[in-house]
Chain A
Amino acid sequence: MILDILSWIAIAIGAFFVAVGGLGIWRMPDLFSRMHPAGIIDTTGAGFILLGLVLQSDDWLVSVKLVLIFLFLIFTSPVATYALAHAALLDGVKPWTRQNLKTKEKDDRP
């Protein structure tokens, strides 16, 4: 019973952070600030949802697979995000600042 309540709390927290991350991907002003809600989904959202699923699982093999999914996400997501930021900076994508907003006439805003 206590495990059920704990896993429901964890899944609720994870679902909240996933929803907030999705909203942030849509609402943030440019690419580099959109990477921040992306990181929220990859760490907090995925971590809490997988923690809740681990607490619900009966078999130890299921728990091991869930932990493996979390480890893969933890290792691959920063590498992908770093490669994306590196390629975008080399390509000449300007980070969004207040001065850019004034000079470029809100062109980049969604």
Chain B
Amino acid sequence: MMFIAAAAALIAAMVLALARAFAGPTAYDRILAVNHIGTQTVLLIAVVGFIADRPDFLDISLLYALINFIATIAVLRYVKRGQANADKQS
């Protein structure tokens, strides 16, 4: 029962972060929001593994934590200088 409440809180926070990823004024806001959707996905996979009583999900969660970090650093490498105000000019 408590697992379902935790999953609901995680999904609500993910929806708010997704709204920030759509609305964010700069590219860095979007990167921050996507990074935190990834962190909450790690927690959500672990909680769902406990709800479904399948502890194998923790391996997927561990892998997702690493991929999320690599993805954030890689996207930051690709964002070039001058992208901060790109949305306001168009």
Contact = CB atoms under 8 A, between A and B. Distances in A.
Main secondary structure of the interface of B (DSSP, over half): helix
Interface residues of A, number: 53
Contact of A87 (B2, B14, B28, B29): B28
A19 B13 contact: yes
Given A38-B36, A65-B58, A84-B31, A18 B84 contact: no
Contacts, number: 151
Contact of B25 (A52, A90, A108): A108
Given A25-B16, A91-B83, A52 B43 contact: no
B66 to A, nearest CB: 7
A27 B43 CA distance: 22
A88 B28 contact: yes
A50 B82 CA distance: 39
A43 B23 CA distance: 25
B69 to A, nearest CB: 4
B16 A26 contact: yes
B16 A23 contact: yes
A73 interface: yes
Interface residues of B, number: 51
B76 A83 contact: yes
A21 B81 contact: no
B36 A41 contact: yes
B28 A84 contact: yes
A66 B5 contact: no
A49 B85 CA distance: 37
27 contacts: A11-B2, A11-B5, A11-B6, A12-B5, A16-B9, A18-B43, A21-B36, A23-B16, A25-B13, A25-B36, A26-B17, A31-B28, A31-B29, A34-B29, A35-B32, A41-B36, A50-B46, A53-B47, A57-B50, A57-B55, A65-B59, A69-B42, A76-B69, A84-B72, A84-B76, A91-B82, A92-B84
